Amino acid sequence: MSYLLSNTGRNVSFSRHLFVLIAISLIAAGCWMFRSSAPKAAESEHIDEPVVPPGLSYTFPTPQTGLGDTNNPDVFMPTESGKIESAWYGSTRTRKFGKQFLPAFHEGVDIAPVTRDSKGRAQDPVFAAADGCIGYINRTGGNSSYGIYVVLLHHDVLGKYYTLYGHLASAAADLKEGDAVSHGTEIGRMGNTSTAGIPVQRSHLHFEMGTVLNNRFSDWFRKEKLKPFHGNMHGYNLAGINPMDLFPYMTNGQLFVLQQYITNCPVAFRLIVPVTEKPDYYCRYPSLWTGGESGGVIVMDVSESGVPLKARAATEEEAALLQKNKPRVLEVFPEVLGRNGARLIVDHEGDWTLGRNAKQWLGILLYR
C-alpha cells in the first residue's frame, strides 16, 4: 500500500514538474519570438533610411545634347538683346533699376528648343536630369517668374539640393510631390510661361540647380505676408550654383558630387554676421561648418550669386569689428565677384557694405 502511495505521489510530483517545465518553455518561446521580431523592426527602419550615393549620374534635361557649344544661339536662348551670354548663368544681363542700367544676375541657364510646331511653339519634352523626388510642382503659369515649374530634390553627401525646370508649357499630369523619379523621366514640356511675358519665339527651358537657404522659409514668407505662396521651393529660398559646370558630367558619364563642387566654389566675399544660434543652413549642410561654437558671431564665405559656402565661429578680434551688432563685409574678392549682378554687397567709393538685396537674403538665411 505504501509502495503504491509512494509511486502515486512521485507520479503526481513528476506531472507537476513536467507541467511547470512546459509552461516555462512556452513562455520562453514567446519571449524569444517577441525579441526576435524587435531587431527585424529596427532593421526595417534602418533599411527605409535613404542611402546617400557617392554622386549622381546626370543626363540632358531636354533633347538638346550640344550644351558644350555655349556660343550657339540654336542651343542657348538669349534675351531680346540677342546677346548669347544673356542665356548663361551669372551677371550676364543688364536691367533698368530706377534711372540706372545695372548688371543683373541670372541664376540658371536658358536652353533653346530642338523642335517647334508650325506656329513656332516649342515641342521638346523636359526630363529629370538626375535621380531624385518631386519637391514641388507649380502648375499655374501666371503666378511666378518661373511660370509653370518643377523642382526636384536630390541626395548628396553634402545634403539635399535641388534642380529646377522653369517656363514649362505643362508639367506631367501624373506627377505629384514626393514621387520618386529617375534621370530621363519626362516631367513636362518646354514652353514660355512666366509673369515676365516671354514670347513664343523665345520659348526655352530655364534650368537651375543649387542649395536651399532655409527649411523654415514658409514660416518666414507668411510672417512677411507675401504672395503667391510656393512653399520652401520659392525662388527667394533657392541659391543657384552654375549649372554650366554640370554639362561635362552629362557627356562623360562621371558622377557629380555636389559636396566636392561647392567646397571648391570660388569665394566672392566674406561676411561677419551676428547670430543667436547656428543657422539652419549649416545644420542641413554640416560639412560646410568648419569649426567653433556658433553662438554670437560667425564668419561666412559667399559665392557671387549668394550661395552660402563655408562658415565658422568668428574670433574675438573679428567679432570686435561689428558695429551696432550689424553684419559687416570682412573681405571682397573682385575677380570672383565680377560685375556683381546679385548686388548683395555694394561698393561706396572703395568701402564695401551690404546692399539692399542683402536684407532679404540674410533675413531668410538666418530665420529661426
Q: Which CATH number characterizes residue 104's domain?
A: 2.70.70.10
Please compute the mean of the pLDDT values over residues 180-197 and round it to a whole number.
Answer: 97
Residues 193 and 249 in one domain: yes
Q: How many CB atoms lie within 10 A of CB 355?
A: 17
Q: Are residues 253 and 289 in the same domain?
A: no
Q: Does any domain span residue 33?
A: no
User: Do 174 and 308 belong together in one domain?
Assistant: no
236 and 154 within one domain: yes
Greatest mean pLDDT among 8-12, 45-49, 200-204 lies in 200-204
Q: What angle do CA 45, 282, 313 make, to 5 degrees?
A: 135
Supply the pTM of this predicted model: 0.85
Report the candidate in 312, 309, 308 with the shortest Cα–Cα distance to residue 298.
Answer: 312
Kindly report the backbone phi and psi dihedral angles of residue 116, in degrees, each rounded to the nearest multiple of 5, phi listed first: -130, 155
Order of strands across the sheet that contains 308-313: 308-313, 296-302, 269-275, 328-332
Cell numbers placing 212: 536651399
In this predicted structure, the answer to whether residue 151 has a pLDDT above a threshold of 60 is yes
- Is 228 in the same domain as 203? yes
Does residue 22 have a pLDDT over 80? no
Q: What is the CA radius of gyration of the chain?
A: 29
Distance, in Å, from the CA atom of 116 to the CA atom of 80, rounded to the nearest integer, reads 19
Residue 27 domain-assigned (yes or no): no
Low-confidence winner among 101-105, 266-270, 294-298 (lowest mean pLDDT)? 294-298
Domain region containing 185? 84-259
In a domain, 216, yes or no: yes
From CA 129, how far away is CA 313, in angstroms rounded? Answer: 36
Task: Tell me, yes or no, whether 274 and 241 share the same domain.
Answer: no
Distance of CA 276 to the CA centre of its chain: 24
| pLDDT tens, position by position, 326-366 | 999 999 999 999 999 999 999 998 899 999 999 999 999 99
Q: How many domains does the chain have?
A: 2
Alpha carbon distance 229, 344 (integer Å): 24
pLDDT digits (tens, 9 = 90+) for 116-138: 999 999 999 999 999 999 999 99
Nearest to 161 by CA among 132, 187, 119: 132
How far is CA 8 from each of CA 12, 33, 219, rounded to the nearest angstrom? 6, 37, 81
91 and 225 inside one domain: yes
Distance between CA atoms of 179 and 287, rounded to whole angstroms?
A: 28
pLDDT of residue 294: 66
- Phi first, then psi, for residue 225 (nearest 5°) are 55, 45
Domain boundary among 259, 274, 298: 259
| CA pair distance 244, 70, nearest whole angstrom | 9
- Whether the pLDDT of residue 40 is over 50: the answer is no
- Tell whether 187 and 324 lie within a shared domain: no
Domain boundary among 234, 259, 284: 259
Q: Does residue 50 register a pLDDT over 80?
A: no
Mean pLDDT of the chain: 88
Mean pLDDT over 90-102 rounds to 92
Around Cβ 239, how many Cβ atoms within 10 Å? 22
* Alpha carbons 171 and 20: distance in angstroms, whole number: 69
Of 225, 242, 259, the last residue of a domain is 259
pLDDT greater than 80 at residue 32:
no
